Amino acid sequence: MQDHIPPDADLAEKLKFLAPVALAVLAGTARFLMMPKGQSALVYLRGIIMAVLVAWIVAAATDGYGMNENYRVAVIGVCSFMADDLLRGLLLIGEKFRDDPLGFIKKWFGGGKK
């Protein structure tokens, strides 16, 4: 009877996707606590939502690389903490690309230097 898999093993596999969410909530909370006083609950909620979004994206990206689990958790945690900055940076890159796609591509690949 030792060859039977415990019923909780399947549940643990199903709940594996929640680990990045827990990291994101911790990182978002730490980021909120570092903000100046007087921030609203909506700022906290926005930070948590962005941290969770980034955590899921980074978790999916690092899952395919065969990265050591400790490094993977560290990358997810750092990216979740920096979620606001990362998403704002992506928006800025998108705006620059929208304004001048050809100039952006030239500058990105080094052709825009004078």
Whether 41 maps to a domain, the answer reads yes
Whether 13 maps to a domain, the answer reads no
Given CA atoms 45, 53, 9, 26 in this order, what sign does their dihedral have?
negative
What DSSP character marks residue 109?
Answer: T
Digits of tens for pLDDT over the chain (114 positions)? 556 666 666 666 666 778 888 888 889 899 888 888 888 889 889 889 999 988 988 888 888 887 888 888 889 889 899 988 888 898 999 999 999 988 888 888 876 555
Whether 78 maps to a domain, the answer reads yes
Residue 94: predicted pLDDT: 92
The whole-model pTM stands at 0.69
Place of tokens 């958790």: 73
Whether 74 maps to a domain, the answer reads yes
Whether 71 maps to a domain, the answer reads yes
Residue 7: predicted pLDDT: 61
The residue segments making up the domain with residue 63 are: 18-108
The alpha carbon torsion through 21, 22, 23, 28 (nearest 10 deg) reads 80
Whether 2 maps to a domain, the answer reads no
Whole-angstrom Cα distance, residue 23 to residue 1? 37
Counted domains in the chain: 1
Residue 66: predicted pLDDT: 78
